[in-house]
Structures are given as structure tokens and as C-alpha cells.
Amino acid sequence: MNIPDSSSARKPSRIRRVFRWLFLVAGAVATFITGVALIARPTFPTLAENVFFASIYLFSIVFLVCLLFPIARWIASRLGFFNLIRRLWSWLFCWRTMRRGLIGLAMLATLIAIFYTEENWRGKHAWENCKRELEAKGAVLDWNKLIPSPVPDDQNIFKAPKMTEWFVKSGGLLTSAKPSEEPNPTGLDGLSTNTLTVSVITNETVAADYLKWSDRFQPSFDLIREALKRPYAWMDGDYSQPYQIPVPKFVQARALAQVLAQRAKCCLLLGQPEQALRELTLLNDSRKLLEGAPTGKPMTLVASMINVAITGLYVDTFAYGLQSHAWREPQLIALQEQLKAINLPPFLVESFREEPVYSARCLETTTPAAFAELVYGHPPKNLWQKLTDPNYRLMKFLPRGWVYQNMKFAVSAGQKWNVGFDLTNRLIMPGKVEQGMREVTAAAAHWSPWRIRLENAVPNFTKAILRTARNQTLVNQGQIGCALERYRLARGQYPETLDALVPQFAEKLPHDLIGGQPLHYRRMADGKFLLYSIGWNEKDDGGQVALNKGGREDLENGDWVWRHPAN
């Protein structure tokens, strides 16, 4: 009788050997892809790609388990732990243990439910108390009260021909502009295509060429000039959510201001001050597109800061004419009146009042994906992003009460930024601003699920206040610059003191925005003058400008000096 060879019986077949080798190769490749993915964290836009790579991740896990289990079993048997593990396995999956485990899970679920209920009640209670206290002090925390009422079409700037098409971005801040929308394909197409717009033009021929190039926009400029004669600026759109409100096309507004500023400089270079005033007046009036008359609501921080930037461009262009003594008495009187009417801090303060309301409204009403898109510009696209995105976790998994705690901290922090403003007396107090900054920074320094929204706000708000204070100071100095130039035209030299300007050349001199004292002035021996504010450090440095490492003006140190003393 033939007995089969036991060694040949245990020998795997060729198919099994091929299968094992394929499994090893495929497992190694899948493990390598998984390792790379854990490092790079790629995103996959389609469902098919997500399913495909999820399958690869799962296969790599199965491969590693199959690879490591025999090794672990061999080590356990060599160390005498195999029988212990087997007994532990048998005990772990017996009915008694499973019953106890189920009871434990039920108790854990009950405790989690109690925890969520308690945190939801505590958070909602804290938010309601905070809201009640702040509203008693005059704060407006109801988003619906910030929605502006419609105005008559014939008094609305944005109802004039082409104005909505050119300057209103529908769909809110989350809507990306289509290529055909900014710059607008009709009327203002190509407004920002000329590189000379942001260049320094000193040649009269180049100045004439630039004016000739930009004359193509004169019909559009005339339409805008006519529209800006209307008193109100109300944009038609959806105001139900802060991120859906219509907003100005900031790129278009900035491009318009840059072209008008360059046209004014070219006119001054060619000895045409009256035409330069016409261009500069339109530039100044274009700020109405951002200020939202009659209520100034809703006012976003972005709109407020674009307004500040355009104002800085306006003052810089006006000062260019002072430097070359190009302005004459009629233009100086008109410019002085325009400068007197500019008051930037109220718009910034209003944006500070409203930004926390935006945050609270969004936290209360948006879905996790929409909130992530608000913060980062895109929603989480896969499971890994959802698990690692703190904002998504806050909205999706954490207790609703913690969302209310974030709302409370957002509106409470927003109140601290306004304590450094005295709008009645037109003052900004850097010491109080810095104190508010320290308090908010301290609150945001340590991560907490109650203040996720505070982490990125501190630097932006601080820079916004600093830049607004600097540009408003330039406006105030510009008023005095107008009066000084008018005095020079009449008397042949600058006065010994600023008191000599009142009342003939200025009804009232603006004071220093920082500290409230008169701006510092002295006539220099060479016939020029020095005019400066004590600046953000609230210290008189004798008219010395501090520079940072890049050679630019350090706004936090040194004095704020009028940058264009006349030659």
C-alpha cells in the first residue's frame, strides 16, 4: 500500500504560492501609498476617488494585520504568553463579559447624554445672559436689526445705470468672482491693465499719453459721477445671512481709485489743477460706494479698510500737488472742505460692532461644512479633513452649548476693541486699544472649544485700528496743509505758528487724533515746515520717524510726520 508523502501534502499548490506573492506585492504597494497619504494628506474631489483610496487604506490595514499576526503569535508562544492570550480571548468574548460590556456602554451613553444636555443648557444660558447684559448697555446683537431698509430708487446710487453691474458683488463674500465679472467686461474693462497706473510719472509726455489712454473711460466716469450725486448707497440682495449679503466689488473700487489718482497727478504735472481737482473729487466721492449711506449698515471690516486705503490714496494724491505747489486758491478751498468731511473711525467702530454679530449669526445658523467654508474658504472634502478641522468638529460633534459659548466670547471680545475710541471728541486712545488687545490675546492664547473663533482675529483688528488712525491723521494734517499753502500763496511764506491760520484760512484746526492736543508744527530755517502727530506711542519724539527693518515707516514707534512738506 502506497502512503502519500506528508511533506508533499503540506506543500502549497502553485496557485496558492502565486496568490501569496501577489498578496505580498499588493500589500506592500498599498502600505506605501497609505504612508505617503498620511504624510501628504491629499484631497480627492470625487466620490469614486474617495472610495478607491479608502479601499486601499483598508487593504493596507488587512495586510499589516496578516503580516504581523503570525509574528506576534510566534513571539507570544516563545514567551509563554500564548495560552494566557487564548484564555483572555475566551474570557473577553464570553456571554457574561459581553453582557457586562453592553451594560457599561449603556451607562457611558447615558453619561454622554447627560453631559451634552448639561453643556447645552449651560452654554445657552451663558449666551442669553451675555446678550441680555450687552443689550442693556446699548449693544445691538440681533442680526435683523442690522439689515438696512430699502431706499427710493431715484435716490439710490446703485440703482443708477450700470452701478450695480460694475460695483456690486451678489452672493456675498463666499462667492468667487467669475472671470467676466472683475473687472467688469463692459464700461470699465481694462481699468487696471495699464502698468503706469501704479508707477511714478515724472515726464510730461508720458503723463499726456496716460491721460489719452484713460480717456476711453470718460463716458463711464461721467456715469459714475452722476450716480454719486444721489444720497444713498443701498445694495439689493439677500440679507438673511451675513455671508450672503451683497458687497461692493472691492477690486473694481480700488482700480477706479488708482486710475483717478494717476489721472489727477498727470493733470497736475501738465499744469491743469482744475481738471486734477475734478478727478480727485470723483476719487473722494467713490468712497460712498463703501460707506452704505444712510445707515452705514451693514459695515464689514473689509469694506471699512478698503475705504481707509482709498482715503490714503486720495490724501497722497492731494499732497503730491502741495509738494509741487500746483494747487491754486480755488482748488485748495474745495479740497480743504472735502478733507474736513472725512471721518474714518466711525466706520471702523461700526464694523467692530457688527463683526461679532456676524460670527454669532453664522455659528448659530450655518451647517458644519458651510462654517468651514466661511473660515477657510472651502468645506472639508473627506473624513480626514472633517476629523482634523476644529471648526467642523465644533459644529458637528461638540455640544451645541459650546457653540453658544463661542458666540458669547465673540461678542464679548468685540466690545473690547471699541473702548479705545472716543467718537464724540474724535480721539483714539492707543493705551486702551493695547489693553483690550492684551485681554483678547490672553483669552485666545490657550486653545479652548469655547473660543475657536478668537484665534485669528487679534492681529487683523489691531492692524485695522493702527492703519485707520494713521490715515485719519493724514487727513487732519492735510486740512492744515491746505491752510498753510493758502497762507503761503497770500503772504509768501509759512506762518510762525498755526494760530495765524485762524480764522482766515481755517475756521478751526483739527487736533491730534492721539491725545487730543494740537498737532505739532514749526517753521524750519530753510522755509519749509514740520507738521507731526505724536503717533501710536503717545510720546513726542521731536518729529522723528521710526523705520522698521525693511526701511518702511514703523507706525507703532516714532512720530507720524506729514510726509509731503512743500519745497
Residue 109 domain-assigned? no
Q: Which residues pair with 156 in a beta bridge?
A: 232
Per-residue confidence (pLDDT) for residue 185, from 0 to 100: 39
> Residue 385: how many CA atoms within 13 Å on its side-chain side?
17
Any domain includes 197: yes
Contact 38, 67 (CB under 8 A): no
- Assess if residue 434 is contained within a domain: no
Task: Indicate the number of domains in the chain.
Answer: 2
Phi, psi angle pair for 358, to nearest 5°: -60, -50
253: burial class by Cβ within 10 Å (0-12, 13-18, 19+)? buried
Q: Is residue 207 part of a domain?
A: yes
Q: Is residue 70 part of a domain?
A: yes
Q: With 0-12 CB in 10 A as exposed, 13-18 as middle and 19+ as buried, what is 360?
A: buried
Same-domain status, 76 and 175? no
pTM above 0.85, yes or no: no
Residues 189 and 287 placed together within one structural domain of the fold: yes
| Residue 78 CA, distance from chain mean position | 63
Q: Among 179, 168, 175, which residue's Cα sits nearest to residue 233?
A: 168
3-state DSSP assignment of residue 302: helix
Q: Do 193 and 266 belong to one domain?
A: yes
Q: Would you state the pLDDT for residue 237?
A: 87
pLDDT at 424: 94
pLDDT of residue 475: 97
pLDDT at position 462, please? 81
Task: Name the 3-class secondary structure at 248.
Answer: strand
pLDDT digit string, tens, across residues 165-211: 999 987 655 554 443 444 443 467 778 777 777 788 889 999 999 99
The answer to whether residues 157 and 69 belong to one domain is no
Question: Chain centroid to CA 488: how far?
Answer: 43
CA 203 to chain centre: 38
The reply to whether 156 and 251 lie within a common domain is: yes
**Each residue's pLDDT tens digit, 406-453:** 888 888 887 887 888 999 999 999 999 888 888 877 776 666 777 665
| Cα distance between residue 307 and residue 39, in whole Å | 43
C-alpha 158/C-alpha 507 separation (Å) is 35
pLDDT averaged over 10-residue windows placed end to end, the chain, 567 residues: 50 70 78 69 60 79 77 66 65 70 81 88 91 88 87 94 89 48 54 78 92 93 95 90 86 93 95 96 95 86 93 96 93 96 94 86 73 60 66 69 84 82 94 84 70 57 90 96 96 94 95 95 90 94 90 91 66
Q: Which residue has the cell 467702530?
A: 349
Q: Which domain holds residue 14?
A: 10-92
Q: Are residues 60 and 158 in the same domain?
A: no
Within this chain, do residues 86 and 184 fall inside the same structural domain, yes or no?
A: no
> Kind of pairing, strands 545-547 and 560-561?
unpaired
Q: Which helix (H) or strand (E) holds 427?
A: strand 427-428
Q: Which of 353, 380, 361 is nearest to 172 (CA)?
A: 361
Here the cell at position 447 is: 486653545
What residues pair up with 489 in beta bridges, in sequence order? none
- In the prediction, which pLDDT does 45 show? 53
Has residue 336 been placed in a domain? no
